[in-house]
Chains A and B, each alone.
Chain A
């Protein structure tokens, strides 16, 4: 059983640029959620994808967008990067919709915007 993997692990971008982060969900999981964890804070929900459709969104601007692919892997795209976007970005996958299951997290991508 493969776990949740994210790439890249670290990334440095310049303000105003665009970034794409990638996530492979755990085998058998069809739901992927993205979280942003700023320094000293808990993870904050960005959005969730279920069977390639967005299924809930947190309080993040439209320049944060995502995709889920038929194999349930996912991308997080952030346009017009701002310094405050510097954070750890976590991907989590979970199993059956309609069942209360825990989310399994990847190791995260550390994004630094300079």
Chain B
């Protein structure tokens, strides 16, 4: 049972444009959400997080939006840069103080120069 879903395995975006990566979840107990970026041969790198008490969190070029009623979150990257090309994982946590993360299957983002 996939509790966190990233339905787009890949996405290509022109440099300078906005990249939008989507994530859906089914477990209503999830209350903390994170996005990680992963380059080949490296571990995932934390990008941005959002608590369920918020609907938006922004950090530089990265903004995460959370729609709790739809159980949907999205990561916006603007403007997209070639270095953003990587696999992006959405993750969720339900256990305050435990921080077990449930990950999606990832979306491979390719920025076209």
Asked whether A105 is an interface residue with its Cβ less than 8 Å from the other chain, the reply is: yes
Number of residue pairs A-B, CB distance < 8 angstroms: 67
Chain B residues lying within 8 Å of A41, measured Cβ to Cβ, are 105-106
In the bound assembly, the distance between CA atoms of A55 and B95 in angstroms comes to 11
B-chain residues with CB within 8 Å of residue A98 when the two chains form the complex: 96-97
Question: Residue on A with the closest CB to B104?
Answer: A42
Q: How far is the CA of A101 from the CA of B34 in the complex (A)?
A: 10
Q: Which of A31, A42, A58, A90 contacts B43 (CB 8 A)?
A: A90
Kindly provide the distance from the CB of A68 to the nearest chain B CB, expressed in whole angstroms.
15
Q: Who on chain B is nearest to A104 by CB?
A: B46
Q: Is B64 an interface residue (CB 8 A)?
A: no
* Choice from A33, A42, A102, A106 contacting B100 with Cβ under 8 Å: A33
Docked Cα-Cα span, A102 to B51, in Å, equals 12
Contact-residue size bin, chain B (C-beta under 8 Å from the other chain)? 20 to 34
Report B87-100 CB contacts with A as 1/0, cut-off 8 Å. 00101010111111
**Which B residues, 30 to 45, have Cβ-Cβ distances below 8 Å to chain A?**
32, 34, 36, 41-45
A103 & B89 in contact (Cβ 8 Å cutoff): no
| Contact between chains at A107 and B41 (CB < 8 Å) | yes
- Chain A, interface residues (CB within 8 Å), range: 20 to 34
Q: State which of A12-20, A43-51, A75-83 sits at the interface with chain B.
A: A43-51
Chain B residue numbers with a CB within 8 Å of A101 are 99
Given A58-B100, A100-B96, 15 additional A-B pairs, CB 8 A: A40-B105, A43-B44, A43-B89, A43-B103, A55-B98, A56-B98, A90-B44, A92-B43, A100-B32, A102-B46, A103-B99, A105-B36, A107-B42, A107-B43, A108-B42
